Structure 1
């Protein structure tokens, strides 16, 4: 009888240790609720979430934040981030989070078909779609002026474009910062700032949003706008007299990524989430809303392959505040 008593007592003493161990590792489930931050547009947030729910059986609690807002929140919450993961965030921000030691390493076997350049070799981030900077041109106004179509970044410095160019403000627009960073990476900082000074002489207006230049050019208020691909393509499909130009030198792009936070409450669920978004099925859904997806053979809204530079997102992340501060001092109007 005593032996049975001590056996039961031993089990009762050991069992909580196993529970605490499981809780401590936070690997006890691969389902449940997954909380995530996202900068996905409102029009795509719910459709993509519903697709993931259907494909995984997870319950999702997304919180939509702009990229900058999300970074401020993550920095304030660190190291105990209030979400399990981030789904829909420019790579440069994910790299800053990685640098601060906030990310969990997970090498997903489900991403084997996606090219290496779109995922971290160490398993800290996974890129599922991307978009790029471009030039919008009002073809009706261009023809009325008798001008040739601009083909390069350098073409925009021609004095004939004075007062005919609109571009976003990098202090408020990710598209604008992408453009400024692209110029810096193409020409180097010294020549890059010289280029931006000359470009400023032709710019009539700096807008708050990255999409606004496409709208203003489409409406005929300016001939040229510096913007991003879907802002142009969407309005072109609506009947605006617009042409999308990829500069001959190439253009920079933003890779949207997914990451898991190191102190995630539900890492098992977050890993299941990461696995699913590496599937062809998911990318076919994303392709309904995004310019480009990273799964080979899945065609998204932009059907051509733009000439992209070897854009250094790490450099962009490390120098963002300094570049933005300098730009504001030089060009804020």
Structure 2
């Protein structure tokens, strides 16, 4: 077995147990339909989506299995011959493209799909996955700690190679975190593979820790554990709102990005209920919930100005070939682990 795949399966073992525990209780005396939904959405958002959907469809209940993007993706691949989930919701589009390539999704065009921005969903008709929102890379910079440590403010990805930042930066592990993978994928696509790996070699010299969460580097920056955290704008915005002395930095070379999206598993035995969830996730109501945290949502005209997010944010997003990122995922992660895994955060 490929070493990268072994790492994936090890990382998701705890979630497999949690999923089994959830599944043991799917039967209901009140005859409610139950959907087992695998997700990587932030815990801040889970309750609002669940409550909104179950209010619209009181005879259907969502049961979540939640973990970081890489762990959820690995879990789904591990279960390919014995699928458990009915729906995948809030997983990175690059992961959903991979599931589509593996023949694990059933195409479905939800009600209201034509109202959504087409660029943020699968281009096939009918689509195998439908976008919810866009999330992009951001650097969380602790201004108080930077002043104490006499650290200059970085303006670009290249600036992070400055030796003054040695041991001062944390970043998400790309095998665990969708945010980590969108960074690595964007650097390789936009710098070219040779220059991209050379860049990551230089960055690795300054990295203190690769975390197993896309949110954690920004939280670490907020607490001052490490003054610089490579994260994403949702979490940066939340940490800023909590009162931490964080400044969001959007590197001038452009931002790696991905799409949170919804797909229906081909193996579901609850197709009607799964389609209703897909319909609701494509609705204006669901997208309105997403605007609480995301600067770009699939339903046009709803997004609102968020503190710290610059005007023209969408123009900062770099070229991103989701098919390439999915097809080359295992190869990229194997190489990344061989080079950099020595600084990975210990797994709980």
Among residues 160, 166, 170, which one is paired with 2:164 in the alignment?
160
Counterpart for residue 337 of structure 2: 328
Counterpart for residue 46 of structure 1: 47
Counterpart for residue 88 of structure 2: 86
Partners of 1:110 and 1:276 within 8 A in 2: no
Among residues 193, 202, 207, which one is paired with 1:198 in the alignment?
202
Where 1:282 maps in the other structure, the secondary structure is helix
Does residue 256 (structure 1) correspond to residue 260 (structure 2)? The answer is yes
Where 1:112 maps in the other structure, the secondary structure is helix
Partners of 2:70 and 2:175 within 8 A in 1: no
Where 1:254 maps in the other structure, the secondary structure is strand
| More deviation, 284-293/173-182 | 284-293
| More deviation, 117-126/312-321 | 312-321
Equivalenced residues, count: 303
Partners of 1:74 and 1:81 within 8 A in 2: yes
The alignment's C-alpha RMSD in Å is 2.5
Does residue 236 (structure 1) correspond to residue 237 (structure 2)? The answer is no
Among residues 161, 168, 173, which one is paired with 1:169 in the alignment?
173
The alpha-carbon distance between structure 1 residues 147 and 86, as it changes in their structure 2 partners (threshold 3 A), is: closer
Where 1:63 maps in the other structure, the secondary structure is strand
Alignment of structure 1 residues 1-333 onto 2, 5 Å: 32-66=33-67, 67-78=69-80, 81-122=83-124, 123-144=127-148, 148-290=152-294, 292-299=296-303, 302=306, 304=309, 305-306=313-314, 307-331=316-340, 332-333=342-343
Displacement, 1:215? 2.5
* 5+ residue gaps, structure 1: 1-30
Partners of 2:70 and 2:177 within 8 A in 1: no
Displacement, 1:145? 5.6
Q: For 1:132 and 1:214, how far apart are their aligned partners in 2?
A: 13
Partners of 2:169 and 2:208 within 8 A in 1: yes
State the Cα deviation string for residues 220-266 of structure 1 (Å, max 9, x = none).
34332212222222221122111111111111112111111223223
The alpha-carbon distance between structure 1 residues 256 and 157, as it changes in their structure 2 partners (threshold 3 A), is: same
Q: For 1:254 and 1:41, how far apart are their aligned partners in 2?
A: 15
Displacement, 1:308? 0.6
Partners of 1:89 and 1:256 within 8 A in 2: yes
* 5+ residue gaps, structure 2: 1-31, 344-348
| More deviation, 244-253/84-93 | 84-93
Which structure 1 residue ranges, 4+ long, deviate > 6 Å from structure 2?
Answer: none
Q: For 2:205 and 2:35, how far apart are their aligned partners in 1?
A: 49
Displacement, 1:57? 4.2
| More deviation, 321-330/296-305 | 296-305
Q: For 1:156 and 1:178, how far apart are their aligned partners in 2?
A: 17
State the Cα deviation string for residues 96-119 of structure 1 (Å, max 9, x = none).
111122221222341112111112
Where 1:201 maps in the other structure, the secondary structure is helix
Displacement, 1:91? 1.0
